Structure 1
Amino acid sequence: MRNGDKLSPIEAAHQFIKEHFPNCQGALLAGSVVRGEATETSDLDIVIFDNKISSSYRESVIAYSWPIEVFVHNLTSYKQYFKTDYERARPSMPMMVSEGIILKDNGMIDSIKKEAMEILSMGPEEWSEQTIKIKRYFITDVLDDFIGCSNRAEEIFIANTLSELLSEFVLRTNRQWIGTSKWVFRTLKKYDEEFANNFVKAFDIYYKTGNKNEVIQLVDYVLQPYGGRLFDGFSLGKG
């Protein structure tokens, strides 16, 4: 098929369902094409609900000139994914279901969407004081490595770890969902756009110039309301 003949996302998704899952009870098209954020490399995320499937699975295919990610569930297995996503505070499956465009529905999609939206609106479980204390310690430990390191190659990887730990800390202490890759920035921006931009600015300055000051100040700003850096007196697992 020539590029000019490429089916639209909706057309391709409907054709895929018709050809590969004609007897499914429900199907949704989700992902970047639904949110209006598609790029030249975007794929189609299709969620299938089929009561003949014994267990959930994920599959990647290319069809109709589209890369397609298929997430296949029976009418109960998706609940375990909802539960797991809630526990890890990364609501991938609830997000896909809540935002998904209905491709096929035998009368059960609305209830599943309602479940997904209830999870999303509830937010992740609140961190305990002990968890916050542990996270403060590990952020402090990585920050000390970052400050003391003089090897540029090692610094870059330490900075990457620090940004992941810090973004998680900010979001989880404020009962916000977290993400990975591009979703780190998106979740930060959804929580507080000004803070997200300052976060990016601090690390961007470091990556471009090697100046660590903005990153160090950012970490201290984030930790300050919770007692600041933590090393002296920290104990884990002591009887």
Structure 2
Amino acid sequence: MEDCHKLKPVTAAHKFIDYYFPDCDGALLAGSVVRGEATETSDLDIIVFDETVESSYRESLINSGWRIEVFVHNLDSYQDFFCSDYKRARPSLPRMVSEGVVLRDTGILDSIRNEANQLLAEGPEEWSSETIDTKRYFITDALDDFIGCNNRSEAIFIAGTLAELVSEFVLRTNKRWIGASKWIIRSLRDYDKNFAEQFAEAFDEFYKNDDKTDVIRIVDRVLDPYGGRLFEGFLIGKK
């Protein structure tokens, strides 16, 4: 079942549910089309709750001219994903459930949404001092590599690693959710728009002009409240 041209997102999502999951207990349309951030390559993220499904699964397909990612759960399996997302501090499913537009509901979505909203409001588990020190050490290691690197190609990839480590550190030490790929900068903006702009500009300056100054400065600024760079005295695994 595939149309030759795109329908409106909500219309396409309703049509998809009517055809593939006509007896489901609940369904939501989430993702960039709901947030008003859709691009030419955006797909439809659809979450389905169906008590007859034995186990959760994810499937990709094309329907009504749209690429569709469908995430299917029974009325228990989604809780395992909520728990997993909480532990890794990336609330993918809770966020989709919270923001989603209702496509179908037999009366089960309010409670699931309340669980998602409560988890999102709570934020991720607070880092221990040991975890903070470990993260400081690995940021220091990446920063030293970055500072000392004279090979432009290698420095580009070191910078990417450093950006991920530092963004994670900023967000987790402030008990905020993290993200991957485009959600790194989105998560930083949710935390502090000014810092996110400075962070992006620092790495942009390196990528454009091979100038490491602002990257080094912003990394040190992030680490300073926690004791700065860490190498000497760091210990892990010794009994």
TM over 0.5: yes
* SS of aligned partner of 2:61: strand
Q: Which runs of 5+ in 2 are unaligned?
A: none
Matched-pair contact (CA < 8 Å) for 2:28–2:47: yes
Q: CA deviation at 1:21?
A: 0.5
Unpaired runs of 5+ in structure 1? none
Amino acid at match of 1:183: W
Aligned-pair CA distance for 1:7: 1.0
Other-structure match for 1:119: 119
Structure 1 residue 2: Cα displacement:
4.9
Question: 1:76-128: per-residue Cα shift (whole Å, max 9, x none)?
Answer: 00000000000000000000000011100011000000000000000000000
Determine whether 1:77 maps to 2:77: yes
* Per-residue deviation, residues 135-183 of structure 1 (Å, max 9, x unmatched): 0000000100001110111101100000000000000000000001111
- Which residue of structure 2 aligns with residue 93 of structure 1? 93
Structure 2: distance between partners of 1:7 and 1:220: 49
Structure-to-structure mapping, 1:150-165, within 5 angstroms: 150-165=150-165
Q: Is the CA contact (8 Å cut-off) linking 2:4 and 2:64 kept in structure 1?
A: no
- Distance of 2:231 and 2:139 partners within structure 1: 10
CA distance in 2 between partners of 1:173 and 1:77 (Å): 30
Q: Hey, which bits of structure 1, 4+ residues long, moved more than 2 A?
A: none
Partner of 2:204: 204
Which secondary structure state, in structure 2, belongs to the residue aligned with residue 62 of structure 1? strand
| Matches of 1:77 and 1:91, distance apart in 2 | 15
Taking only aligned residues, the RMSD between alpha carbons, in angstroms, comes to 0.7
TM-score after normalising by structure 1:
0.98
Would you say how many aligned residue pairs link Structure 1 and Structure 2?
Answer: 237
TM-score, structure 2 normalization: 0.98
Matching of residues 130-145 of structure 1 within 5 Å: 130-145=130-145
Give the 5 Å matches for 1:180-195: 180-195=180-195
Q: Percent identity?
A: 64
Rounded Cα–Cα distance in structure 2 between residues aligned with 1:211 and 1:9: 43
How far is the alpha carbon of 1:189 from its aligned partner? 0.6
Q: Deviations over 1:30-82 (max 9, x none)?
A: 00111111111110000000111100000000000000000000000000000
Q: Distance in 1 between matches of 2:33 and 2:72?
A: 19
In the alignment, residue 203 of structure 1 is paired with which amino acid? F
> Which amino acid is 1:116 matched to?
A
